[in-house]
A and B are shown apart, each in its own frame.
Chain A
Amino acid sequence: MNETLRVLVIGAHPDEPDIYAGGTAALYAKMGHKVKFLSLTNGEGGNYHLAGEELVRRRTEEAKKAAKALGFEEYEVLDCPDGQLLPTLQMRNEVIRQIRNWRADIVISFPEGCSHADNRYAGKIVSDASAFVALVPNVVPETPCLERAPLFLLMPDYSTRGEYRPDIVVDTGEVIEEKLLACDAHASQFYEYAPWANGILSDVPSDWAGKREFLLREWSPFFHISDEMRAPLSDRYGEERAEGIAYAEPFEIAPYNTRAIDRDIRALFPMFPDEG
């Protein structure tokens, strides 16, 4: 695989692709590959003083700004109400269309065991869609199907980090500022809703140095490496470099993949150093 890679990250709410896969996305973008983020709900559940259309508009703007910070343009927010996502045929077919239209080589989404219903169903919808995106022209016939199934990866969310398998772990140290700025763009979440829900609203700093530290501290597991990532990092980056890695994002190879994975994993992850 020589040409540009096309990556689609599918979350349930605007800000999830950013916090769980933003560094990896920024790396792809930096290397000249194409990335799109997709939120299956409009995020209208995510605030305490804003609601409805006003909140949706704000979060959509935040999403656009976050994409720019990560080095790409496409961040689509579907209009399904936050908190009401279900694995319907309509939603599955929309995801089939999205994956096909983006001509994705890699699709990253949630595992099916997430505790938040929207996240769990987002994972279920992508899993349900997966068998039909390539080589099944009779399903969703108005959108040409792909000639090859993409690689499906799972990004463990906050509730599944205790039980995932770190098949692929990406060193995100080089783009940690980009990822922090993407989170910063989702101010309604990282500086308002989440701190309010956690009772630490008064701790939110006002200057960037303070905010940066606040993000790294409060969302530490999604920036920093943890023990289970060390072995896979050594495998991909070599022991010496792996020892110096502080920031990383882990992914699990989805069980529903049909693509033969081993052969082309290196082609799909150009950020891994050459072997030998």
Chain B
Amino acid sequence: MTMTRPIRVIVIFAHPDEGEKYAGGTSALFAEMGHKVKFLALTNGDAGHFGMKGKELSDRRAREAQEAAARLGVEEYDILDYHDGELLASLEVRNEVIRQIRRWEADIVIAFHPEGCAHADNSYAGKAVSDAAAFVALVPNVVPDVPCLKNPPLFLLMPDYSMKEAYKADIVVDIGATIEKKLLGCDAHASQYYEYQPWSKGLPVETPERWEDRRRQVEQDIAKFLLSSPEMKPAMEKWYGKSQAERIQYAEPFEIAKYGGATDDETIAALFPMFGIENREVIA
């Protein structure tokens, strides 16, 4: 099975900057290979600062998001207008998620875990996607204003900061080729990386002028979401082969959601052309 048209990926999360942090390298890889990626933040991020708030902050974060999209090659970056810290898995949010997945004609949906995230917004973002999953394809009577999909997409979960110890690494993507883009995508969110985060850690709030200094700071901040780690090894060996897996330094892991459609190896190989599966015989 090979895809005859570009693969369409939508990454759905709670706050502008999370798609970059948890799936930015994979997104940039898809984009570099000519596939289509969309980011969707379910809240406008207006709680993410110590000095700015309200519309001033959400406008700033929207501009940062657009810049990040440009750097990653993400085609669309939508931000819903729910307040940061007030996301619930309401029918309204679920139906909007159904619309977004359908309109993007997604082949792959990447979202948060529906349970277990330490941050309520992240958990409810995951929950809204898991609630939406059954309705995106072949249920024309639900959300009838947007035509439903013919095939259910593959649903994947990206572990957030609180899920790193508790997720299952089913699919791991080598992001060595796009690590620079991922760091630049995060760097676009100056309000977070150089202001809110250092403030919350009691560190000085200043934006380093030189890229190499900013790069170092972002790299330290998101090290856990850049570097490959031991739990990823079996999946890396499965998808890249043993010898190549050993050389993977930077990686992003994903868990196959229990609520999705077909999750056989052949489907996954077709949807992740960066694995170069057709050149090897790892998939029986």
Contact = CB atoms under 8 A, between A and B. Distances in A.
B118 A138 contact: no
Contacts of A128: 120, 123
A139 to B, nearest CB: 4
B47 to A, nearest CB: 4
B86 A89 contact: yes
A258 B88 CA distance: 21
A137 interface: yes
A138 B84 contact: yes
Nearest to B121: A131
A127 interface: yes
Nearest to B52: A138
A132 B43 CA distance: 15
Nearest to A152: B118
A92 B236 CA distance: 41
A23 to B, nearest CB: 29
Interface in A99-141: 127-132, 135-139, 141
Given A136-B47, A138-B53, A255 B86 contact: no
B46 interface: yes
B168 to A, nearest CB: 16
Contacts, number: 43
A256 interface: yes
Contacts of B49: 138
A8 B57 CA distance: 33
Nearest to A88: B88
Given A138-B47, A256-B162, A131 B118 contact: yes
Nearest to A148: B202
Contacts of B166: 255
B244 interface: no
B55 interface: no
Contacts of B50: 135, 137
A257 interface: yes
Contacts of A136: 47, 85
A107 to B, nearest CB: 14
A139 B118 contact: no
B151 interface: no
Nearest to B53: A138
Contacts of A255: 116, 118, 162, 166
B84 A139 contact: yes
Nearest to A89: B86
B200 interface: yes
B150 interface: no
Given A130-B118, A138-B84, 13 more contacts: A89-B86, A127-B120, A128-B123, A129-B120, A132-B85, A132-B120, A136-B47, A136-B85, A138-B46, A138-B48, A139-B47, A255-B116, A256-B118
A-B residue pairs, 4 tightest by C-beta: A128-B120, A256-B118, A139-B85, A138-B47
Interface of A: 89, 92, 127-132, 135-139, 141, 255-258
8 contacts: A92-B120, A130-B118, A135-B200, A138-B85, A141-B53, A255-B162, A257-B118, A258-B162
